[in-house]
Amino acid sequence: MKRTHSLALLRSMLRIRRIEEALADRYAEQEMRCPMHLCIGQEAIAVGVCAALSAEDAVFSNHRAHGHYLAKGGNLNAMVAELYGRAGGCCGGRGGSMHLIDLDAGFLGATPIVGGTVPLAVGSAWAASLTQNRRLTVVFFGDGCFEEGVVHESMNFASLHKLPVIFVCENNNFSVYTHLDARQPERPIYRIAEAHGMAAYTGDGNNVEEVLAIARNAVALARQGQGPQFMELHTYRWREHCGPNFDDHLNYRTVQEIEAGMNGCPIASYTRKLEQEHGDMHPEIERFETEIREEIAAAFEFALSSEEPGINDGQGKIYA
């Protein structure tokens, strides 16, 4: 892979990480008054998959959507303003962290009902197929979501009609505090997708180049009309299910497991890899850090100077 391309992947992951860390740092100020699910530790999936897409392709997501939104090119200012409930937010303050949208970036929507957007992505792909539009649709969801019936209903229809949709299952082993072992029998998730009659892949979701390689292959096949593609990517959620903090004191997972999970840091491991291949990365990383810091500062400034919506602004736009 070209050095510039590798650096772009690294920068994109680092940007998501730093943005979410900044959100976590300021969450205690009590001004971002909405549930927030951070993807810290899981950035490689969003970045690797979105790097395989074109601007016109569509993405749907779930409650843990910041990374997907940002990797697809969603507007950072509008996202931060949304978290602050301001009029300049991407939903004008109606949605918060769990409802992100940026139609210009092809980010068609994220919602927090588990499985809620999976059929919408299939519908988007169906419309593209019926109107001979080359646009692909990607939907991100978690291992918990795979337990929802609607996901299997969606896969069934996507496979039946050979629709250009890519299902991306981010398997972080947890639904809130409940481990996969308590929720699913011991069998690989991606093999169930395969049984629905679609191509399915699995890989290390913390290895951004591996994610990108799987995604590129899936994107190429889907664009050729080979039907839906499914990716199960393993990763690890570092912080609490919902909120800005680490939650190791709750003891629902062992110290060893957390350490192993954090050792798989997609950014640190990719930095090491790039240094082996290209030598010292510090100057580039320093530059990225500075640029990202400035961008984040500007986004918070935008958000906090964005107008507070009026008390009546929650009433309209019920019907189109």
Contact residues: other proteins, CB under 8 A: 58, 90-92, 94-95, 99, 101, 103, 108-109, 111, 113, 116-128, 130-131, 137, 149-150, 152-154, 156-157, 160, 316-320
Q: How many CB atoms lie within 10 A of CB 305?
A: 10
Q: Which is nearer to other proteins, 17 or 99 (CB)?
A: 99
Distance CA 142, CA 218 (A): 19
3-class DSSP assignment, residue 186: coil
Least Å from the CB of residue 206 to other proteins: 30
Q: Which is nearer to other proteins, 42 or 111 (CB)?
A: 111
Least Å from the CB of residue 222 to other proteins: 16
Least Å from the CB of residue 60 to other proteins: 8
Q: Which is nearer to other proteins, 39 or 108 (CB)?
A: 108
Q: Which is nearer to other proteins, 129 or 202 (CB)?
A: 129
Region of 247 on the Ramachandran plot (φ > 0 left; ψ -120 to 50 alpha; else beta): alpha
3-class DSSP assignment, residue 296: helix
Q: Which is nearer to other proteins, 81 or 180 (CB)?
A: 81
Q: Which is nearer to other proteins, 118 or 214 (CB)?
A: 118
Least Å from the CB of residue 211 to other proteins: 24
Q: Measuring CA to CA, how many Å separate 117 from each of 13, 63, 114, 228, 300?
A: 24, 10, 8, 16, 29
Number of H helices, E strands in the chain: 11, 8
Q: Which two tokens stand for residue 108?
A: 């068609």
Least Å from the CB of residue 193 to other proteins: 15
Q: Are 142 and 64 in contact (CB under 8 A)?
A: yes
Distance CA 229, CA 162 (A): 10
5 closest CA partner among 71, 56, 51: 51
Least Å from the CB of residue 196 to other proteins: 12
